[in-house]
Amino acid sequence: MQRSADLDLSPRILLGPGPSAVSPRVLRVMTTPPIGYLDPEWLAFMDEEQALLREVWQTENPLTLALSGTGSSGMEAAIANFLEPGDRFIVGVNGFFGNRMCDMAARYGATVTKIEAPWGEPIRKEQIADALKQGPAKMVALVHAETSTGVLQDLTGVADIVHGAGALLMVDCVTSLAGVPVKIDAMGVDVAYSATQKCLGAPTGLAPFTVSPKGVAALEKRKKPTANWYLDLAIIAKYWDKNRAYHHTPSTALHYALREGLRMALEEGLEKRWARHRANAEYLWAELAKMKISLHVAPEHRLPPLTTVKIPDGVDDPGVRKRLREEFAIEIAGGFGPLAGKVWRVGLMGFSSRRENIAALIGALKEIL
């Protein structure tokens, strides 16, 4: 029988759109032995994890937890639980992940209304208001941090517009949570989800999720059970609340990692953490400007954890990324969709958002270009 060799992957400086680097502190706690999913110590751990999540989300929402699954599971949970066949769903589409929301919602029988902006620009509040004037909607969804384009969506005043029309506000915070200001209660967000492998600096596999009391009320008024059993919040919530009803066996290692990532975010201080991501992004932008390399997004709409860099004319996109990976052990990503071959996506998220990583990237690009 042929035997596999020991696992020996090449080291990488992860500066793509995800995953980001994982802190040694997080890696250490992942070696903690597993424990039973109904062990009293595990249940106390879950309560603590919820409290940490609420603090990082900046919310008091009782229904706050971490779904077993990637960020896309958070997106699907938001859509599957809050939309029923025939419900009108208004989606801001200015990148790849807005389109993914539309695809998912259509599969659950929702009536999807797209409000669109070019890949590199935000959705305007006037567009949201106009779409709501055309008829009632169950929910309006926006991508707070569009990873495909590097745009940070301004949410100021959006909840007033959405709630004024009797709809719920859903926000994709996959690349924004713990990297830029995310204040769920202050922003009036009803349903939000994120992912662990971005600015929280943990491995992929869990989706932080939070629902407002208004969202919970809407959930309780469903005519039929959620079509997706695994992501049915009505069932999952009973495991996280005082009922402790079994739903599935969670990965203790991933939850250990999330808890440590949340602790690190709060130890650093959310304001300081947001400022670090902004300062490091501005350092990258300034160094690229010195090289006469332009950015895809206007300064006022840029997303600090993810920068889209215009590929200079005549430069071999795959060739540059290959040399970065093979000669300098640096990973960045290319664009896709309308931005394929036009931009590089550089992620500075969580533990990867470090000045020395930027200096290494800039030095490598100078040598290659």
| Per-residue pLDDT tens digits for 209-247 | 999 999 999 999 999 999 999 999 999 999 999 999 999
Nearest to 331 by CA among 49, 55, 79, 20: 20
User: Is residue 162 over pLDDT 80?
Assistant: yes
Regarding whether 278 and 258 lie in a shared domain, the answer is no
Within a domain: 4? no
58, 37, 240, 194: CA torsion to nearest 10:
40
**Residue-level pLDDT at 1:** 64
Regarding whether 214 and 83 lie in a shared domain, the answer is yes
User: Is residue 193 over pLDDT 90?
Assistant: yes
User: What is the per-residue DSSP string for 61-104?
Assistant: -SEEEEEES-HHHHHHHHHHHH--TT-EEEEEESSHHHHHHHHH
Q: Which of 242, 266, 290 is the last residue of a domain?
A: 266
Regarding whether 205 and 78 lie in a shared domain, the answer is yes
Nearest to 18 by CA among 354, 344, 306: 306
154-163 b/e (C-beta count within 10 Å ≥ 16 → b): ebeebbebbe
Are 202 and 22 a contacting pair, CB within 8 Å?
yes
- pLDDT tens for 116-146 read 999 999 999 999 999 999 999 999 999 999 9
Regarding whether 215 and 133 lie in a shared domain, the answer is yes
Are 140 and 170 a contacting pair, CB within 8 Å?
yes
- Whether the ω angle into residue 250 lies within 30 degrees of 0, i.e. cis, is no
- pLDDT tens for 342-360 read 999 999 999 999 999 999 9
**Residue-level pLDDT at 3:** 83
**Residue-level pLDDT at 4:** 87
Crossing angle of helices 233-240 and 71-82, rounded to 10°:
120
Regarding whether 107 and 64 lie in a shared domain, the answer is yes
What is the pLDDT averaged over residues 319-329?
A: 98
**Residue-level pLDDT at 41:** 97
C-alpha 164: how far from chain center = 27
Nearest to 67 by CA among 169, 191, 221: 191
E strands present in the chain: 13-14, 63-68, 88-93, 111-116, 139-143, 145-146, 151-152, 168-172, 191-193, 206-211, 306-310, 330-331, 333-334, 343-347
User: Is residue 2 over pLDDT 80?
Assistant: no
CATH of the domain at 250: 3.40.640.10
What is the pLDDT averaged over residues 54-83?
A: 98
Instruction: Let me know the angle formed at the C-alpha of 133 by 127 and 137, rounded to the nearest 5 degrees.
Output: 90
- pLDDT tens for 93-120 read 999 999 999 999 999 999 999 999 999 9
Domain count, the chain: 2
What is the residue range of 353's domain? 13-18+269-368
- Look up the pTM and report it: 0.97
What is the pLDDT averaged over residues 195-219?
A: 98
Within a domain: 242? yes
User: Is residue 158 over pLDDT 90?
Assistant: yes
> How is the beta sheet containing 343-347 ordered, strand by strand?
306-310, 343-347, 333-334
Within a domain: 8? no
In a 13 Å sphere around the CA of 110, the CA atoms on its Cβ side amount to 28
Regarding whether 287 and 139 lie in a shared domain, the answer is no
CATH of the domain at 300: 3.90.1150.10
**What backbone torsions phi and psi does residue 41 show, to the nearest 5 degrees?**
-70, -35
Regarding whether 346 and 231 lie in a shared domain, the answer is no
Residue 116 bridge partners (DSSP)? 93
Q: Which of 266, 291, 306 is the last residue of a domain?
A: 266
Regarding whether 179 and 158 lie in a shared domain, the answer is yes
Q: Which of 225, 251, 266 is the last residue of a domain?
A: 266
**Residue-level pLDDT at 77:** 98
3-state secondary structure of 287: helix
- pLDDT tens for 260-286 read 999 999 999 999 999 999 999 999 999
Within a domain: 7? no
Are 17 and 175 a contacting pair, CB within 8 Å?
yes
Amino acid letter, 46: M
Give percent of the chain above pLDDT 90.
98
